[in-house]
Amino acid sequence: MPSVGVKLYSVFFKFLLKHRLQNRIQSEDSSSSSDPFGVTTRPEESVSPPNPLFTDGVATKDIHIDPLTSLSVRIFLPESALSPASGSHSGKSRSFNSLAGSDLLLRRNSHGSSNSLSSHKSEARRSSYVYTTSSASSSSGEEVYRGYAPSSSGKCRKLPVMLQFHGGGWVSGSNDSVANDFFCRRMAKHCDVIVLAVGYRLAPENRYPAACEDGFKVLQWLGKQANLAECNKSMGGLRRGGGGGEVKKSDASKHVVDAFGASLVEPWLASHADPSRCVLLGVSCGANIADYVSRKAIEAGQNLDPVKVVAQVLMYPFFIGTVPTQSEIKQANSYFYDKPMCILAWKLFLPEEEFSLDHPAANPLVPDRGPPLKFMPPTLTIVAEHDWMRDRAIAYSEELRKVNVDAPVLEYKDAVHEFATLDMLLRTPQAQACAEDIAIWVKKYISLRGHEFSY
């Protein structure tokens, strides 16, 4: 059973969540129209500012990618990107072959943690990037960017890209919250990937399909960035500051832009991102978005080139349906997110004329939901023992396995919904173990052919 502290915090969390949902309903009733620009965070959220320096092994920056909406991303670049490319990997060797075998439903009983990918900070590596600490303006009066800027040598290490979609029951949460920032930093270091945390529009200001379309729009933006980077490379590379290590804003105007001038080449992604190894990771309702984006990527096909979704991770998906499962009956009043409050969240998210617990965004088991399941990418599903939504997530994974999709399930004993991402649970051994398990599985699909690692 969960600890007494978790139980007490769950009571407080439910009270606070119910209050916020009721406020959302009242604010919607008092508003005559919705704003398509939308919001991606709430005033009550504790946010973490971006830090473009590798103070803890990961540098971050925020980018607003759509001028017509509030859609944004936070980039998490691990310091391992500064290492020279190598086919070798030092670290603890572990086996994850059991996920591909017959025992596809695993129950995690041990909560111990293992060594994560270490961050090396040698002077040799520091010489490969610009790391400015000068004042906010240069001697010429131009504003100076104080943070990491890729080397102009063009010999930068390429890392896979992970799109991360936060949870929050559609109406709360943000990509720059303190908890989500901590989780994304952890995933960037454990998986050795560039994480793009998506700040999608929240409900009820923007109902379905706004949040889901925002997720796919980021995938399209990633493809555009890759194509712009190739064009920029053919024109002689990115212009950067001189020996002083300063990157001036005037240089940005010389970068290649798209047809409408709306997108500059993002230097971190241009130098370090490999979009052909893209992983989607969704937390709670973010898992629903990840599954939606996977389906849209299948439909788009080669139009997304060079982006390729090679795997997805669904962490305790926010699935529901009209016909209840056993866990929905027995654990309807479970910890943190009980069923009545989740139904209220769905009412705030889905348009009134479309509301149904069997809506394609809510129930993955409804027929004619999209592309055939056999085309879905390998899918790792994380479920918690004390989560009423667990059975439907397991059933979806079983349907994927029936059509030969690699779709293992990791079930964590004595765990609750959002046990690995909720603020008070982030530093528990169980949350650490979950991050390591995800990294082990993901690396099967993002390792370069010929340089596969043994974990």
For the segment 20-57, what is each residue's pLDDT rounded down to a tens digit?
777 777 776 555 456 789 999 998 889 999 999 998 99
Candidate from 97-106, 265-274, 376-385 with smallest mean pLDDT: 97-106
Q: Is residue 407 part of a domain?
A: yes
| CATH number of the domain bearing residue 430 | 3.40.50.1820
185 domain residue, yes or no:
yes
Domain count, the chain: 1
Comparing 30-44, 312-326, 378-392, the range with the smallest average pLDDT is 30-44
More confident residue, 438 or 84: 438
Confirm whether 45 is domain-assigned: yes
List 284, 294, 327, 334, catalytic entry = 284
Amino acid identity at 335: Y
Residues 323-362 pLDDT 10s = 999 999 998 788 788 898 899 999 999 999 999 999 999 9
> 3-state SS of the chain: helix, strand, coil percent to 5?
35, 15, 45
Q: How confident is the model at residue 201 (pLDDT cuts 50, 70, 90)?
A: very high
Task: Please check whether residue 131 lies inside any domain of the structure.
Answer: no
Residue 125 within a domain: no
Mean pLDDT to the nearest integer, 49-72: 94
Mean pLDDT of the chain: 81
Mean pLDDT of 217-233: 90
Cβ–Cβ < 8 Å for 196, 279:
no
**Which of the residues 387, 391, 406, 437 is marked catalytic?**
387
Q: Coil, strand or helix: which one is 316?
A: coil
Cα angle 229, 37, 225; round to 5: 5
DSSP code per residue over 60-104: EEEEE--TTS--EEEEEEEGGGGSPP-S---S-----GGGGSS--
Mean pLDDT of 213-236: 89
Looking at residues 361-383, what average pLDDT do you find? 94
Q: Does the structure show a pLDDT above 90 at 245?
A: no
Residue type at 275 in one-letter notation:
P
**pLDDT(217) > 70:** yes
Which residues, 6 or more positions from 74, have their beta carbon under 8 angstroms from its beta carbon? 50, 60, 61, 62, 63, 175, 176, 181, 184, 196, 197, 199
Q: What is the pLDDT of residue 34?
A: 67
Q: Residues 411-447: pLDDT tens digits? A: 999 999 999 999 989 999 999 999 999 999 999 999 8
Q: Cα–Cα distance between 449 and 335 in angstroms, integer? A: 43
Question: How open is the CA angle 245-130-448, to the nearest 5 degrees?
Answer: 150
Strand partners for 62: 74
Note the pLDDT tens digit of each residue in 301-312.
999 999 999 999
* pLDDT score for 229: 86
Overall residue count recorded for the chain in this entry: 455
The kind and range of the H/E element at 310 are strand 309-315
- Residue 274 designated active-site: no
Phi and psi, residue 72, nearest 5° = -145, 170
Structural tokens at position 426: 């982030």
Decide if 451 is catalytic.
Answer: no
pLDDT at residue 71 tops 90: yes
What does pTM read for this prediction?
0.83
Residue 352, in any domain of the structure: yes
**In-domain check, residue 434:** yes
Q: How far is CA 445 from the centre of its chain?
A: 17
Q: Tell me, yes or no, whether 145 lies in a domain.
A: no
Q: How far apart are the first and last CA of the chain?
A: 30
pLDDT at 120: 37
Confidence bin at 154 (pLDDT 50/70/90): low
Evaluate whether 175 touches 74 at the Cβ level (below 8 Å).
Answer: yes
Q: Which residues pair with 197 in a beta bridge?
A: 74, 164
Instruction: Quote the domain boundaries for residue 292.
Output: 4-27+40-81+154-236+261-446
Catalytic residue status for 284 = yes
Nearest to 455 by CA among 411, 447, 161, 106: 447
Q: Which of 255, 272, 359, 417 is catalytic?
A: 417
CA-CA distance, 286 to 355, in Å (whole number)?
A: 19
pLDDT at 231: 84
Contact by Cβ (8 Å): 279, 163: yes
Say whether pLDDT at 262 is over 70: no
pLDDT at 286 over 70: yes
Rounded Cα gap, residues 442 and 410, in angstroms: 13
Calculate the alpha carbon distances from 268 to 187, 218, 226, 259, 372 in Å: 18, 16, 11, 21, 35
